[in-house]
Structure 1
């Protein structure tokens, strides 16, 4: 019986140490700077960060204090700047980048915060060029869709 009581006490103490809390942080002027969940003093789950003018700067998820899953970034005026995936705190997979009018001006495959794969460039929502990268280094550029399609498998764009 003492053994069971000791285990229950131990489990209760672990449970109290692993409490999730909601935290809000503020700029010096009292404006909200960020808000989200903490677990054992590390950011976890969904967070929002704000510009000093009150508009959202970025929003997304954390795991063990590192960015994970899908994130969206915004400019001071509230327009979308970029969005994409994180894995273990590093940009990964496809990222979309927007011009000041909210139109995609390029999208790139990233791995470990570097361009790694294709970057597709747009003007007025039309594909105008493609560039292939390997670990951040440019390998080749195409300026027309026909030559790009001829030399590459469209499966690589997934």
Structure 2
């Protein structure tokens, strides 16, 4: 009976953490990659060129909300990246894959208040 209970618990735990396979689509010289969370929502989306990260990449949480966005050049983080945590946005500047600066943006505020 104890073995049966252990097997049942293991089976349920594997079902809970089911993996969704990524998709890869050829677009010109690049390959568009889409990775998914276990619930089917997109986790990351971007491009590869010569097997290295290239161009804009976007990351999302399990609810589908964007949590990060930035660019890669030849597999290296470059330029301005944006990170969202709730209503707070951070701007992180990368130089040759290293953080050059971090700026905290104000929280979102309404455009019109009645």
Tell me the TM-score normalised to structure 2 length.
Answer: 0.69
Residue in 2 aligned with 1:57? 43
Q: Give CA deviations for 1:108-142 in whole Å, capped at 9, x if unaligned.
A: 111233212x321023148xxxxxxxxxxxxxxxx
**72, 79, 83: which one aligns with 1:97:** 83
Tell me the secondary structure at the aligned position of residue 40 of structure 2: coil
In structure 2, the gaps of 5 or more residues are 1-16, 110-114
Q: Give CA deviations for 1:51-86 in whole Å, capped at 9, x if unaligned.
A: 111000000110011110001001111111100000
Q: Which runs of 4+ in 1 moved over 4 A?
A: none
2-structure distance, mates of 1:97, 1:120: 10
Larger RCO: Structure 1 or Structure 2 (Cα < 8 Å, ≥ 6 residues apart)?
2
Bigger Rg, structure 1 or 2: 1
2-structure distance, mates of 1:37, 1:53: 21
2-structure distance, mates of 1:104, 1:63: 32
Number of residue pairs aligned between Structure 1 and Structure 2: 90
Question: Aligned-residue CA RMSD in angstroms?
Answer: 2.1
**63, 66, 77: which one aligns with 1:80:** 66
Tell me the secondary structure at the aligned position of residue 57 of structure 1: strand
